[in-house]
């Protein structure tokens, strides 16, 4: 029986999605943020951070597959991968599907998020048992600075929205460290934002990252329950030839196994910006 509880996921000044809660499983504040987990009748189990929707069980692949399989398909090799954030284990779960990954490090600032997700999202957290994976609790930006030059093949930044608490992840210092740590054919992917409500932050982020990476491009993927159903990611690399959607082939996706939300055509569509976005960002592309 419904208990009359609702969770609002706000965007902008006048818009929100809401979820009708069947049962609250966890609701507490860590050192860094509010963490809430609840079950719904038809949207699965949901994780919210600081009252913003983060992920749900039936829809996780729509976000986690692009964050993992796209950069790994574009990188020159896939031996050493670093995830900054990602405390729900969703991206890591998909990265370990790649047999040629030799080392995966997940660096999450909030250890309480890790513990909560181990308890309430155990299917995702099971990837932690993979011997190739190491979980570290701490500052991902500081960890990146200590990475040896050219040691990373892919850097996946799965943080909270970078224009709020994670703003350190869109700074000159951060991108300088990322460029230094990535090997010449390495690829960075980063969550940014919806374009409609957060269009003002896109030029800011692009202007900073372009000072360090000669190749970068926004991608917009369909993600159910995220604001208007579309969410923006940012790819960056050391040369433009790396960031070609044609490299995500049917053969590549089939080799991973169990891919649910991606096809070569869907990836090409994410690379293809609609005219209103392309025109507004033309100075950065």
**172 and 46, same domain (yes or no):** no
**134 and 17, same domain (yes or no):** no
Q: How many CB atoms lie within 10 A of CB 58?
A: 14
**43 and 136, same domain (yes or no):** no
Residues catalogued as catalytic: 158
**271 and 178, same domain (yes or no):** yes
pLDDT at 228 (0 to 100): 84
CB within 8 A of 26, min separation 6: which ones?
A: 35, 36, 37, 116, 119, 120
Query: Positive or negative, the Cα torsion across 240, 145, 284, 163?
Result: positive
Predicted confidence band of residue 165 (pLDDT cuts 50, 70, 90): low
* Cα separation, 278 vs 285, whole angstroms: 8
Mean pLDDT of 86-114: 98
**69 and 169, same domain (yes or no):** yes
Q: Is the pTM of this model over 0.75?
A: yes
pLDDT at 98 (0 to 100): 98
**195 and 267, same domain (yes or no):** yes
Q: Indicate if the pLDDT at residue 285 is higher than 90.
A: no
**158 and 21, same domain (yes or no):** no
Taking Cα atoms as reference points, which of 114, 137, 150 lies closest to residue 35?
A: 114
**68 and 11, same domain (yes or no):** no
Q: How many CB atoms lie within 10 A of CB 45?
A: 18
Q: What is the DSSP string of the chain?
A: ---SEEEEEEETTTEEEEEEEEEEEEEEE-SS-EEEEEEESSS-EEEEETTEEEEETTTHHHHHHHHHHHHHHHSS--SEEEEEE-TTSHHHHHHTT-TT--EEEEEES-HHHHHHHHHH-HHHHGGGGSTTEEEEES-HHHHHHTSPTT-EEEEEEE-S-TTTTTGGGGSHHHHHHHHHHEEEEEEEEEE---HHHHTTHHHHHHHHHTTT-SEEEEEEEE-TTSTTTEEEEEEEESSGGG--GGGS-HHHHHHH----S--HHHHHHHHS--HHHHHHTGGG-
Here the CATH number for the domain that contains residue 265 is 3.40.50.150
Residue 26's domain spans which residues?
5-56
Q: Indicate if the pLDDT at residue 106 is higher than 70.
A: yes
Here the CATH number for the domain that contains residue 27 is 2.30.140.10
Domain end residue (candidates: 30, 56, 82): 56
**pLDDT tens-place string over residues 72-83:** 999 999 999 999
* Cα separation, 216 vs 26, whole angstroms: 38
Mean pLDDT of the chain: 94
**34 and 64, same domain (yes or no):** no
Share of the chain above pLDDT 90, in %: 82
**30 and 154, same domain (yes or no):** no
Mean pLDDT of 161-190: 89
Q: Count of domains in the chain?
A: 2
Mean pLDDT of 28-57: 96
**69 and 32, same domain (yes or no):** no
**70 and 162, same domain (yes or no):** yes
Predicted confidence band of residue 131 (pLDDT cuts 50, 70, 90): very high
């Amino acid at each position: 029986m419904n208990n009359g509880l609702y969770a609002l996921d706000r965007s902008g000044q006048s818009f929100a999605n809401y979820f009708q809660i069947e049962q609250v499983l966890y609701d507490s504040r860590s050192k860094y943020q509010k963490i809430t987990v609840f079950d719904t009748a038809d949207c699965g189990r949901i994780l919210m951070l600081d009252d913003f929707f983060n992920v749900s069980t039936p829809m996780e692949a729509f976000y986690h597959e692009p964050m993992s399989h796209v950069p790994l398909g574009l990188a020159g090799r896939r031996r050493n991968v670093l995830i900054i954030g990602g405390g729900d284990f969703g991206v890591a779960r998909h990265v370990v599907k790649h047999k040629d990954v030799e080392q995966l490090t997940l660096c999450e600032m909030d250890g309480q998020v890790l513990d909560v997700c181990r308890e309430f999202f155990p299917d995702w957290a099971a990837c932690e048992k993979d011997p190739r994976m190491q979980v570290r609790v701490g500052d991902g930006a500081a960890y990146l600075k200590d990475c040896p030059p050219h040691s990373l093949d892919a850097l996946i930044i799965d943080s909270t929205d970078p224009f709020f608490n994670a703003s350190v992840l869109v700074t000159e210092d951060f991108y300088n460290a990322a460029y230094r740590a990535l090997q010449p054919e390495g690829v960075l992917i980063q969550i940014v934002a919806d374009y409609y409500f957060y269009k003002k932050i896109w030029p800011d982020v692009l202007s900073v990252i372009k000072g360090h990476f000669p190749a970068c491009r926004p991608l917009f993927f369909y993600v159910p329950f995220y604001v208007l159903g579309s969410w923006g990611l940012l790819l960056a690399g050391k040369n433009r030839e790396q960031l070609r959607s044609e490299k995500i082939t049917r053969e590549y996706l089939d080799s991973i196994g169990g891919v649910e939300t991606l096809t070569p055509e869907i990836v090409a569509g994410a690379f293809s910006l609609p005219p209103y976005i392309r025109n507004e960002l033309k100075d950065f592309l």
